[in-house]
């Protein structure tokens, strides 16, 4: 959930933990190497960036859109950061823009300067607001977006948000969950591991410090929200709803157990049990923000968008 030292969980006796294999997806072809090559300068209009200010439930959320070169219409990738959002994955946003996608990044209510107060419930509402905004005629016309080709890319808590948000979307909406935090799995341990609850609360108090913390929220109420929803916010419960969506799960071996390979493997297995065959799992030998694999991660993401994701968006072809 957070960019801090991972806590140590004690596994039950005799429990064998099997990590998902490390999979290296093929890089895009040389003609479409969005990670290493800038788009041709002949495309008009050229690539650009615009600031966004969108109203969500009475509060302003701040964001930006990386506009791809060319007239479009362009598919859209929405990036959802974690808590509080230290790794913003804007290098990935730049990469998908070079691949022909418009990329959107925004801060949830009560986070890094956006108005209102932060909570996971509010953040889910903010994602829904953003998706509705993408589909308005005004947005489509102004930013040359293709509302039928949308992907959510979430990191950490953003991965959790993506998994719960895409369940209410048509199958054409793809989701990539990077080190997705299973917040309910972590909360389900609080009763038996009070030290873990205390550690999380201490961090929430630090990040909501009125003297300059990035989050505007009551830390005790935030922790209570998570604990109260432990029975329903486990993302494995979304397996049936996710089975028709193209899904990329990327995990890191040096991550904490609530967002590591075991949780991703559980979700993938549950989706496949429901009959879903569109889930792809990749595991890197790395830490929570994938510090040593940023180029490989960008290659993996852009390739997945152009293959698995594009195939579920029937009749859309390749990005322009």
- Across the strands, what pairs with 248? 176, 280
User: Residue 32 — very low, low, confident or very high, per pLDDT cuts 50/70/90?
Assistant: low
pLDDT at 11: 32
pLDDT at 314: 67
pLDDT at 30: 37
pLDDT at 130: 98
Domains of the chain (ranges, CATH numbers) = 48-312 (3.40.50.1820)
Q: What is the mean pLDDT of residues 33-60?
A: 91
Q: Is the pLDDT of residue 2 over 60?
A: no
pLDDT tens per residue across span 84-129: 999 999 999 999 999 999 999 999 999 999 999 999 999 999 999 9
Q: Is the pLDDT of residue 24 over 50?
A: no
- Calculate the average pLDDT of the chain: 89
CA dihedral 54, 106, 181, 4 (to 10 degrees): -130
pLDDT tens per residue across span 139-178: 999 999 999 999 999 999 999 999 999 988 999 999 999 9
pTM: 0.89
pLDDT tens per residue across span 264-295: 999 999 999 999 999 999 999 999 999 999 99
pLDDT tens per residue across span 180-232: 999 999 999 999 999 999 999 999 999 999 999 999 999 999 999 999 999 99
């Amino acid at each position: 959930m957070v960019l801090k030292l991972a806590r140590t969980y004690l596994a039950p006796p005799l429990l064998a933990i099997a990590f998902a294999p490390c999979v290296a997806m093929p890089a895009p072809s040389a003609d479409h190497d969005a990670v290493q090559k800038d788009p041709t300068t002949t495309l008009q209009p050229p690539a650009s960036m615009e600031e966004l200010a969108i109203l969500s439930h009475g509060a302003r959320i701040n964001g930006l859109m990386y506009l791809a070169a060319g007239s479009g219409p362009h598919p859209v990738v929405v990036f959802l950061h974690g808590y509080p959002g230290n790794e913003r994955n804007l290098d990935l946003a730049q990469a998908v823009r070079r691949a022909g996608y418009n990329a959107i990044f925004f801060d949830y209510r009560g986070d890094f300067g956006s108005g209102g107060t932060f909570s996971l419930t509010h953040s889910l509402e903010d994602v829904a607001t953003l998706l509705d905004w993408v589909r308005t005629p005004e947005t489509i016309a102004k930013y040359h977006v293709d509302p039928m080709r949308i992907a959510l890319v979430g990191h950490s808590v953003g991965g959790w948000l993506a998994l719960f948000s895409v369940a209410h979307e048509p199958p054409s909406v793809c989701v990539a969950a990077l080190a997705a935090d299973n917040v309910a799995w972590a909360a389900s341990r609080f009763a038996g591991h009070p030290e873990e609850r205390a550690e999380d609360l201490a961090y929430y108090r630090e990040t909501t410090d009125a003297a300059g913390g990035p989050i505007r929220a009551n830390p005790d109420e935030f922790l209570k929200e998570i604990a109260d929803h432990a029975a329903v916010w486990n993302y494995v419960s979304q397996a049936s709803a996710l089975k028709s969506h193209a899904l990329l799960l990327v995990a890191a071996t040096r991550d904490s157990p609530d967002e590591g390979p075991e949780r991703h493997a559980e979700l993938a297995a549950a989706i496949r049990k429901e009959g879903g065959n569109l889930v792809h799992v990749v595991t890197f030998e790395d830490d929570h923000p994938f510090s040593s694999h940023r180029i490989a991660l960008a290659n993996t993401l852009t390739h997945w968008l152009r293959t698995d994701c594009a195939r579920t968006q029937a009749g859309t072809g390749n990005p322009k």
